[in-house]
Amino acid sequence: MGVVKVNVDGAFHHASRKGGLGFVFRNENGIMLGGGAWPLSGLNSPEHAEILACKVALEFAEVHGFGPVLLETDALEVQRQLSLHDSVNLSGLGRIYDDVVALLEAQSVIQVTHVGRKGNGVSHLLANHACSIRQNVFYLSTPEFLQAAIAADLCTV
């Protein structure tokens, strides 16, 4: 298997402090290899949801032997913090960042990049889907509700 790209996204609802995370793994041809959607509660911010999405996706990669990995997020601050991983993160989310950095270092993560929302559509759909479910869901094939979005992405690859 060549380089695997994972797109992650977090959804956050300020009033309820709930949200969800979504992630999708694809091969070099854009074919979905796996993904997931998790409902979240007790969130502090959109950044909190996004960094948790990174953590869960990298744990999924480790379990399923995906690698080397290119990690893409639409949260510029998360990408920036992960790119500065050689310095101590003293933010309120610092321990989660530390966990993600440990996963980055333990796995074959080539790069953490920022991608605009338009390039993160499938993981965005998964994160929003996670807000409407009660338990964590993992996919090892493309679920029906994502087929149109995956097909649209393949047309632009």
pLDDT at 86 (0 to 100): 67
Residue-by-residue pLDDT tens, the chain, 157 positions = 689 999 999 999 999 999 999 999 999 988 999 999 999 999 999 999 999 999 999 999 999 999 899 999 999 999 999 988 667 777 889 999 999 999 998 888 889 999 987 788 999 999 999 999 999 999 999 999 999 998 887 776 5
pTM: 0.93
CA distances to 30, 55, 77, 101 from 107, rounded to whole Å, are 21, 12, 22, 10
Question: What pLDDT does 36 receive?
Answer: 98
**b/e code 115-148 from CB counts within 10 Å (16+ = b):** beeebbbbbbbbbebbbeeeeebebeebeeebee
HEC string for the chain: CCCEEEEEEEEEECCCCEEEEEEEEECCCCCEEEEEEEEECCCCCHHHHHHHHHHHHHHHHHHHCCCCEEEEECCHHHHHHHHCCCCCCCCCCHHHHHHHHHHHHHCCEEEEEECCHHHHHHHHHHHHHHCCCCCCEEECCCCHHHHHHHHHHHHHC
In whole angstroms, give the CA distance from residue 122 to residue 20. 14
Q: What is the pLDDT of residue 44?
A: 96
Query: What are the structural domains, with CATH classification, of the chain?
Result: 4-151 (3.30.420.10)
